[in-house]
Chain A
Amino acid sequence: MEIKTDQEAKLGYWLILPTVLAIGGLILYPVIYNLWLSLHKVNMNPTQPNTFIGIKHFIEILTDVDFWTAFRTSILFTSTTVVGTTLLGLGVAILLNRKFPGRSLIRGIILLPYVTPVISAAFGWKYLFNPVFGMFNYIMVDVLSLMPQHINWIESPRYAIFAVIIFNIWRNFPFAFLMILAELQSISGTLYEAAEVDGATGWQKFKHITLPELKFVIGALVILRTIWNFYKFSEIYLLSSSVEVLPVYIYEKAFATYSFGEAAAISAILFVFVFGFILFYVRKVLEW
């Protein structure tokens, strides 16, 4: 029997080896290599050697106004989209948590924004946000008169952030919806029946039964969405390249001005910030 366990373990190592090599070589090594790059003046040609300059990049970045502007834009984008996707997902999940004809079809339709390729969805929204003939301006200005005039949502640096936030909420609320709906469906109906016998109102039932049951899934959604949206690049850049969140700032530093070392240092700062947030959130908010 002893030999067999040894063999099993050996096979286990062999089977997991490709995964370990792939993740080690293409995730863990690059993360460490990124730190190394951030301490160097990186040659524009990747085959040429780099010069060590210590923490010079970090000092430059932390005293650079543009960095802090991008940082604030990232915070604004992430906080509004995390709240927006979670609340809309929660609302729609509660709405659909009942039996009605065509429910599974509608659930499938609601998932479409999440599975459509970003490039297609971004083009659709660009058209909607068009300053001259876009539906969005038409409805807001000509139909509802909520705004005085048509706005160039995509290209104006001032308004593009709102377009990007709306697009992100549209695209990602279905994920929150799906997770919350699954959790709602697992809450036992007897809890509500007992509450009704005790004369609880709809709001009381929601506050004392539904919300506590959803605490874990909403906590998980908030942390995942925060991490993902802090790193979000394509959904922002493909809709409007004038919204300079940190990932877009890093991308342009690296691949438009070829300041690889500086860009590597900014990504290191971004990672430390996200990691710090995770630690804080897990300890203080989730109390794990």
Chain B
Amino acid sequence: MVGKDSLRSKIIFVVLLMLVLAFVLIPFVTMISSSFKPNQEQTQLPPKIIPDNPTLEHYQGVLNPDIFPFLNYFKNSLIVAFFSAGIGVVISIFGSYSFARLEYTGRSVIQRGVLMVYMFGGVLLVIPLFQMISKLGLFDTRTSLVITYVVQTLPVSLYMLGNYFRTVPESIEEAAIIDGCSRLEVIFRIVLPLSAPAIVSVFIYAFMIAWNEYLFASVFINSSSLRTLPLGLNQLFYTQHYVWGRMMAASVLTAIPVIILFLSVERFITGGLTFGGVKE
């Protein structure tokens, strides 16, 4: 809506925009500012945004394995997120090509079945999955998390990739088939190279979901050496040794990789989000 650009409406717009930005950013500002505050400044009232004596001690504490196993949690999150995203991408490349280009009876039933997953939240699956994981002898392994996360991200990955594959002109694929390529060669030589940005985005989407996940990790993992970041950080919060500045530094370091990854593919992911909605 393009209103009349009077000075009054401009001022109202700027004020409202500032309020929205303040609401969005205050937790981030607090987090970053406290991560640089020495302990005696943490409890100051009124709270200050810029610390009087900024310090790096909390970051040094977080990164020192003798004080805080942050790096080990970080490594576990990295391994789990990398493998879930990688396996998820491979499965959804094949699946979404099958949906987008091949014709067979039952295809639309399967497509609708995949969407059904929206109706089952993690909390409905955690009890039966815990029983299954235990029976399979996968309790307290990273594998249990990887296989769970792959399935959680499949519906959105299939949707995003399928949409992208449909934008590859069918005539190119047909020409390649007439030239003697098989369908699989078409996928690997033509569709995949053309879809590289979509594939990277789907990988990052799945990576973010796995990096963020708490519920399944808290149930499937027991050993402290296998904890992922959300799990490890939350458990440390409930010990008496937590230090606010250190928790904030850990939060910042946990968020940074994900925010960088997101910003690098923002346009593509938000495009995918607005068309399909996204499973949380």
Interface residues of A (CB under 8 A from B): 5, 8-13, 15-16, 18-20, 22-23, 26-31, 33-34, 37, 42, 46-47, 92, 94-98, 100, 106, 108-113, 115-121, 123-128, 132-135, 138, 142, 170, 174-175, 178-179, 182, 189, 192, 202, 205-206, 210, 220, 224, 227-228, 230-234, 237-238, 247, 250-251, 254-255, 260, 263-264, 267, 270-271, 274-275, 278
Contact = CB atoms under 8 A, between A and B. Distances in A.
B156 interface: no
A85 to B, nearest CB: 12
B196 interface: no
Given A8-B104, A112-B28, A138-B46, 4 more contacts: A15-B97, A19-B95, A124-B27, A178-B274
Contacts of A278: 119
Given A118-B214, A119-B234, A228 B24 contact: no
Contacts of B212: 117-119
15 contacts: A13-B98, A16-B98, A23-B117, A23-B154, A33-B128, A47-B135, A97-B1, A98-B2, A119-B212, A120-B31, A123-B250, A133-B42, A135-B47, A178-B270, A205-B1
Interface in B233-252: 233-234, 237, 244, 247-248, 250-252
B21 to A, nearest CB: 7
The 10 closest A-B pairs by CB, nearest first: A231-B121, A12-B102, A124-B27, A46-B134, A30-B128, A9-B104, A15-B98, A120-B251, A19-B95, A247-B123
B68 interface: no
B10 to A, nearest CB: 9
B228 to A, nearest CB: 10
A42 B134 CA distance: 14
A271 B254 CA distance: 33
B150 A22 contact: yes
A232 B280 CA distance: 9
A224 B233 CA distance: 29
Counting chain B CB atoms within 10 Å of each CB, which of A118, A124, A210 scores highest?
A124
Given A110-B24, A179-B274, A117 B230 contact: yes
A125 B251 CA distance: 11
Contacts of B128: 29-31, 33-34, 37, 264
Interface string B62-81: 00000000000000000000
A47 B134 contact: yes
Contacts of B46: 138, 142
A231 B274 CA distance: 22
B273 interface: yes
A270 B44 contact: no
Contacts of B95: 15-16, 18-19
- Interface class of chain A by DSSP: helix
Interface in B93-114: 94-95, 97-99, 102-105, 107, 110, 113-114
A19 B233 CA distance: 33
A97 B17 CA distance: 12
Interface in B15-53: 16-17, 20-21, 23-28, 30-31, 34, 42-47
B114 A31 contact: no
Given A182-B274, A254-B126, A267-B127, A22 B91 contact: yes
Given A123-B31, A254-B127, A9 B121 contact: no
A8 B102 contact: yes
Contacts of B91: 18-19, 22
A263 B1 contact: no
Given A27-B117, A113-B24, A119 B127 contact: no
B13 A192 contact: no
Contact of A123 (B23, B147, B248): B248
Contacts, number: 271
Contacts of A135: 26, 30, 47
A179 B274 CA distance: 5
Nearest to A10: B104
Nearest to B150: A22
Given A19-B92, A127-B30, A31 B158 contact: no
A202 B3 contact: yes
A43 to B, nearest CB: 10
A247 B214 CA distance: 13
Nearest to A43: B131
A123 B132 CA distance: 32
B266 interface: yes
A13 B23 CA distance: 49
A128 B26 contact: yes
Nearest to B148: A26
B197 interface: no
B94 A16 contact: yes
Contact of B214 (A19, A111, A119, A254): A119
Contacts of B248: 123-124, 127
Given A19-B158, A238-B234, A127 B244 contact: yes
A227 B151 contact: no
A31 B214 contact: no
B194 interface: no
Nearest to B77: A117
B200 interface: no
